[in-house]
Amino acid sequence: MALQAKILATDVICTEEGRYLGWPTVCRRTNGELLVAFSGDRDEHVCPHGVTQIIRSADGGRTWSAPRTITDTPLDDRDAGIIETDQGTLLVSWFTSVAYVEKDAMVRAWYGDERVDSWSQEAAKVTPAVRERWLGSWIRRSTDDGATWGEPIRAVGSAPHGPIQIADGRLLQVGKVLGSRNGSVVVEASRDDGQSWQQIGEVPVAEALRVVGGRRSTIAEPHVVQAADGSLLAMIRYQPPDEAAHIMLQSRSRDGGKTWSMSRSSGIWGYPPHLLRLANGWLLCSHGYRRAPYAERACVSRDHGKTWERPELDICRGINADLGYPATTELPDRTLITVYYQCLNEGEPTVLMATRWRLIEG
């Protein structure tokens, strides 16, 4: 029978007056606490002021703490992932950006000269030394429940929802190499609870997908999950020139991340992916649907990601395309909590939201 999403509640879980919030990830700790990491205290979607923040819930997502800033580098801190490892360590991942400097024409077209000029003082601080020190992908660790955080650890690739832990105890991240012209998607692993990372593989993407009609496709923002059969499934945001073809790619590894199948179409329009293995062994892909009807969506696979069921499930409708990056966790009673960002009303800054829902057959 076809699956349906039974929506239990949808709530705003974090706002900051006059500030833009985005790109969250949720994790459920072994003690039941929920944590959400995100980029907050921002002027806009692109600006100099992003910081990494976290909020907490001790009651299954019904109430949430005020946001706490845990990272504020000299650059724009974006796209926070979060997990708890088997050793109880919290890991937060993110990447830094100077898009407000480098893409001046684009940013001016978005926000206007007055807003961009107001950032000129911050942009002037991005010296070559600051860029060399801070530009890239990062991971921080906390071994005291998030009270303090260690020094940033540089990663090769960037993934909006960060690394995962797999059955053999390793931490694994599939990420896009920032600034790589060909959209290289690399696989990194850690055997020491996230203290150090080594590149172990790369996910192949055919050249015919990388360059379409003489134009380069966007290949970015991957995520990975370990399926119930032990294989690893990676899914990748894919944007060729034709919007109708913005269908996420997927690839599989059966040797712990060393080698991967050639990326192929998942059949799912939208981006970016967040992958979760449910308690019953099914896979859930949460993703943003950034064309009308705008929405946060999810798909289910009952065969380890070989096929994805239709119709897709609407988790929450949005009002414009500036939404998404949903991430989902499962509670012991099989309630699902999906967190994401979007606008409540046109012209207002984005907020963080969460939907509590269940999968039902109907």
- 253-266 confidence digits (pLDDT tens): 999 999 999 999 99
Q: Considering the domain boundaries, does residue 88 fall inside one?
A: yes
Q: E strand or H helix at 111, and its extent?
A: helix 104-111
Among 191, 154, 193, 195, which Cα is nearest to 175's? 154
pLDDT at residue 183 above 80? no
> Which residues 6+ apart lie within 8 Å of 134 measured at CB?
73, 74, 75, 96
Mean pLDDT over 89-103 rounds to: 91
Q: Considering the domain boundaries, does residue 214 fall inside one?
A: yes
Q: Considering the domain boundaries, does residue 101 fall inside one?
A: yes
Amino acid in position 302: R
Q: Considering the domain boundaries, does residue 200 fall inside one?
A: yes
Q: Considering the domain boundaries, does residue 291 fall inside one?
A: yes
Cβ neighbours, 10 Å, residue 12: 11
Q: What is the pLDDT of residues 140-158, one digit of tens each?
A: 999 999 999 999 999 999 9
Q: Considering the domain boundaries, does residue 362 fall inside one?
A: no
Q: Considering the domain boundaries, does residue 290 fall inside one?
A: yes
> Which residues 6+ apart lie within 8 Å of 201 measured at CB?
186, 187, 253, 257, 258, 259, 260
Q: What is the pLDDT of residues 270-312, one digit of tens each?
A: 999 999 999 999 999 999 999 999 999 999 999 999 999 999 9
Q: Considering the domain boundaries, does residue 116 fall inside one?
A: yes
pTM of the model: 0.96
- How many domains does the chain fold into? 1
Pairing of strands 313-317, 324-330: unpaired
Q: Please give the structure tokens belonging to residue 182.
A: 């060909």
Whether the Cβ atoms of residue 209 and residue 162 lie closer than 8 Å to each other: no
pLDDT at residue 193 above 80? yes
pLDDT at residue 79 above 80? yes
pLDDT at residue 111 above 90? no
Surface-to-core class of residue 318, CB atoms within 10 Å of its CB (0-12 exposed, 13-18 middle, 19+ buried): buried
Amino acid in position 102: E
- Residue 306 pLDDT: 98
- Residue 103 pLDDT: 65
> Which residues 6+ apart lie within 8 Å of 206 measured at CB?
262, 263
CA angle 44, 46, 50 (to 5 degrees): 75
Q: Hey, CA dihedral for 51, 49, 272, 249, is it positive or negative?
A: negative
C-alpha 148: how far from its chain's center?
A: 23
- Residue 180 pLDDT: 74
pLDDT at residue 100 above 90? no
153: containing domain: 3-357
Q: What is the pLDDT of residues 26-70, one digit of tens each?
A: 999 999 999 999 999 999 999 999 999 999 999 999 999 999 999
Q: Residue 53: which CATH number?
A: 2.120.10.10
- Residue 284 pLDDT: 98
pLDDT class for 122, splitting at 50, 70, 90?
confident
- Residue 113 pLDDT: 83
